[in-house]
Structure formats: structure tokens, C-alpha cells
Amino acid sequence: MYIEIDFNSDEAIYMQLRNQIVFGIATNQYQEGESLPSVRQLAESIGINMHTVNKAYHVLRQEGFIKLDRRNGAVIFLEEGKIQAIQEMKETLRVILAKAVCKNISREEVHELIDEIFEEDY
């Protein structure tokens, strides 16, 4: 598992870790049923605190991306919560689009950006 943390970023480390795992799932780098490294292993490999990895794993569990099992650790597990995911995305997009409107970014530019991201990454 390749994870790159930007220690100079304003974004919390646990969120960077969470985001990279979600991106890995979305781009099929990580498959459903695949085990993630243990909290200790991942913390040591990236040079961060175990509590930070634990927090990222708990956020991923709450969001329905992994399940935590005492025997198998953290395992990629995608819940069928599409409606909930759409609602969460809608809330996040509202803020992003409000920022875009404030910066005079047009609807067409937003659509082009989304298309570009889908073509590059998915």
C-alpha cells in the first residue's frame, strides 16, 4: 500500500490518509475484501502516530468503506448505502459550489472540471 502524507498541509493527517484510501478504492487499487495494513504497520511505514491511523480507520468504518474485525483487522467493505453517500456528497458539493460561485467559476467550468477528473482518474 502506497500512502503519501504531506506534513506541511493544512489538512489533518488522518483525513489525508482517509482520502487516499478512498481514492485507492475508487481507482481499484484496493479491492473489496482486501485487508489493509494493521494500525501499527501503517503508522510505522508512513512515520505517523498509531492513533492517527486508528482515527482514519474509524472514519472509514463510519463512512462505510471498511469493516473492522478483531481477527482480520481493517478490511475493504463497501456498504450498499448509496442514498446516504449521495446525501453526503450533496452537502460537500454545496460548499464547493458556493466557493466556485464566489470566485465567478461558471457551471460549464465546473462540469468540464468534473469530466476531466473522471477521465483522468476513473
CATH of the domain at 35: 1.10.10.10
73 pairs with which residues across the strands?
A: 69
What is the Cα–Cα distance from 61 to 114, expressed in whole angstroms? 27
Does the pLDDT value for residue 62 go beyond 80?
yes
Number of domains in the chain: 2
Show the CA angle centred on residue 87, arms to residues 82 and 91, nearest 5°. Answer: 145
66 lies in the same domain as 87:
no
60 lies in the same domain as 19:
yes
The boundaries of the domain holding residue 32 are 13-76
> What would the pLDDT profile of 3-29 be if each residue is shown by its tens digit?
999 999 999 999 999 999 999 988 889
Whether 115 is covered by a domain: the verdict is yes
Whether 50 is covered by a domain: the verdict is yes
Q: Residue 77: which of 53, 93, 61 has the closest Cα?
A: 61
pTM of the model: 0.73
32 lies in the same domain as 70:
yes
Q: Residue 79: which of 65, 69, 68 has the closest Cα?
A: 65
27 lies in the same domain as 64:
yes
Helix (H, G, I), strand (E, B) or coil at 92: helix
> What would the pLDDT profile of 25-43 be if each residue is shown by its tens digit?
888 898 889 999 999 999 9
Secondary structure letter of residue 69 according to DSSP: E
